[in-house]
Structures are given as structure tokens and as C-alpha cells.
């Protein structure tokens, strides 16, 4: 997902009905990996405790301490708009 992306937030939930996916929109350009807060897009994150890049990076457990299915999970695109009945993230489990 690293690279340049076009972003437009849908705070009013009109994108699907207005067919944004097939439209040329005026969007903000961002370079990932970063957060929307880094680019000043949307409402600032004022949650306590602070959730920032450092915290998000350290939420991942050490893979050596995990026990479960062998392989590597690679997350793929997930959106509550496209998958409203899917409660969790989606991805692929790769054998290494």
C-alpha cells in the first residue's frame, strides 16, 4: 500500500449513492504509509491515550510469541461500505 493515493472522506455517507467509484472527484493526495492526521485531513485525533503511528506500530505482537496457524497473514482491502456484514478484516494466509 506504500505510495501515492487519492483520498476523499465521506462523512455524510453519500459516496455510494452518488457513485463516487465511477466519478472523477477532487481529492487530497497522500503518500502512505502515514495517517490522515499527518496530512491534516478529517477531524484531528484527540483521543486519550493518544493513538499515533508509534502506538499503532507497537500494537502488533512479536510473531515468535504467537501460536496458531502457520503462515503469514496479508491484509487486503476491507470496507464497511463494500462488506457491511463482514465483522473482521479480510486477508490471505500465505504458506512460507
Identify each DSSP E strand in the chain by its residue range: 3-7, 28-32, 72-75, 91-94
Check whether 91 has a pLDDT greater than 70: no
The residue-averaged pLDDT of 22-31 equals 86
pLDDT at 54: 75
Backbone angles phi, psi at 20, to 5 degrees: -60, -35
Among the listed residues 79, 60, 66, 36, the one whose alpha carbon sits nearest the alpha carbon of residue 89: 79
Q: Which of 3-12, 14-23, 29-38, 83-92 shows the lowest per-residue confidence on average (mean pLDDT)?
A: 83-92
Report the mean per-residue pLDDT for the chain. 76
Check whether 88 has a pLDDT greater than 60: no
C-alpha cell at 24: 472523477
The ranges assigned to domains in the chain are 3-94
C-alpha cell at 17: 449513492
Contact 58, 51 (CB under 8 A): no
Q: How confident is the model at residue 27 (pLDDT cuts 50, 70, 90)?
A: confident
Q: How confident is the model at residue 96 (pLDDT cuts 50, 70, 90)?
A: low
pLDDT digits (tens, 9 = 90+) for 37-50: 888 888 877 778 77
Identify each DSSP E strand in 18-80 by its residue range: 28-32, 72-75
Amino acid at each position: 500500500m506504500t505510495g501515492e493515493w487519492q483520498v476523499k472522506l465521506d462523512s455524510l455517507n453519500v459516496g455510494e449513492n452518488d457513485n463516487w467509484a465511477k466519478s472523477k472527484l477532487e481529492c487530497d493526495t497522500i503518500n502512505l504509509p502515514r495517517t490522515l492526521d499527518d496530512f491534516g485531513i478529517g477531524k484531528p485525533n484527540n483521543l486519550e491515550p493518544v493513538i499515533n503511528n508509534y502506538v499503532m506500530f507497537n500494537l502488533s505482537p512479536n510473531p515468535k510469541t504467537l501460536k496458531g496457524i502457520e503462515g503469514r497473514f496479508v491484509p487486503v482491502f476491507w470496507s464497511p461500505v463494500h462488506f457491511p456484514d463482514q465483522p473482521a478484516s479480510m486477508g490471505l494466509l500465505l504458506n512460507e
